[in-house]
């Protein structure tokens, strides 16, 4: 998962100028970032065709081929597709979807659908919104890098029940995961459904 976040960070910066300008959102940058994640990724359960159709219906641009090539350098993300939007204030948002066939949570038995939102320039405060939505503690060991905030849970009605990363790949079924990473230039929010092979 961390390699995807890094690739998205690089892609957002490298190709920010390629997107068409649209009016900026009225929310704060952090609220807009999380609203975009929820709208495209969480509410669609990260189903790639649904995400892309939604973006297309709202006038988002195709992610340029050089940007996709950046992601496709890793075989794990070979099927990634995306859309992007640039606002008149210079900020850029990209949405990327993909299916990871293996090793998305450090286990070869776990695969799943992923949907990520990248924002350039970086926004502050999105980490708190991610934590508020997850409503569980950060999942220990899920993301090895200290600057990535990761959560793994199963749903029980409206409640999120924390899932231990080490035991997840020995279980069956699926779990939701959410990740946040940001540096001085860009922010990435990632949501997905992880599935354990029986």
Lowest mean pLDDT: which of 15-24, 26-35, 135-144? Answer: 15-24
Asked if residue 126 has pLDDT above 90, the reply is yes
Burial of residue 132 (number of CB atoms within 10 Å: 0-12, 13-18, 19+): exposed
> In the structure, what pLDDT confidence band is assigned to residue 43 with cuts at 50, 70 and 90?
very high
Average pLDDT over residues 15-40: 72
Q: What is the pLDDT of residue 21?
A: 45
* Cα separations in angstroms, 99 against 37, 71, 136, 172: 17, 13, 25, 19
Q: Mind listing the pLDDT tens digit for each residue in 51-77?
A: 999 999 999 988 877 777 777 776 666
Lowest mean pLDDT: which of 7-21, 27-41, 57-71, 99-113? Answer: 7-21
Instruction: Read off φ and ψ for residue 175, nearest 5 degrees.
Output: -150, 155
Query: What does the CA dihedral 19, 187, 37, 58 come to, rounded to 10 degrees?
Result: -10
Sign of dihedral through CA atoms 26, 27, 30, 33? negative
Q: How many CA atoms lie within 13 A of 24 on its CB side?
A: 15
Q: What percent of the chain has pLDDT over 90?
A: 33
Length of the chain: 198
pTM here? 0.85
Q: Mind listing the pLDDT tens digit for each residue in 130-185?
A: 999 999 999 887 776 777 888 999 988 889 999 887 777 666 678 898 999 888 88
Compute the distance between CA of residue 14 and CA of residue 118 in angstroms, rounded to an integer. Answer: 12
Domain boundaries defined on the chain: 2-196
């Amino acid at each position: 998962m961390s390699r995807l976040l890094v690739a998205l960070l690089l892609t957002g910066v490298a190709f920010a100028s390629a997107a068409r300008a649209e009016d900026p959102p009225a929310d704060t940058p952090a609220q807009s970032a999380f609203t975009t994640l929820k709208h495209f990724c969480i509410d669609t359960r990260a189903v790639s065709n649904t995400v892309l159709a939604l973006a297309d219906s709202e006038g988002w641009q195709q992610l340029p081929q050089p940007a996709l090539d950046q992601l496709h350098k890793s075989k794990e993300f070979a099927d990634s597709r995306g859309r992007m939007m640039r606002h008149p204030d210079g900020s850029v948002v990209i949405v990327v979807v993909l299916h990871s066939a293996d090793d998305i949570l450090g286990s070869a038995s776990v695969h799943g659908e992923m949907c990520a939102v990248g924002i350039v320039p970086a926004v502050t405060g999105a980490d708190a919104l991610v934590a508020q939505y997850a409503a569980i503690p950060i999942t220990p060991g899920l993301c090895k890098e200290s600057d990535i905030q990761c959560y793994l849970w199963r749903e029980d009605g409206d409640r999120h029940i924390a899932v231990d990363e080490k035991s997840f790949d020995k279980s069956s079924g699926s779990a939701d995961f959410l990740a946040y990473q940001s540096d001085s230039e860009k922010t990435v929010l990632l949501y997905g459904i992880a599935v354990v092979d029986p």
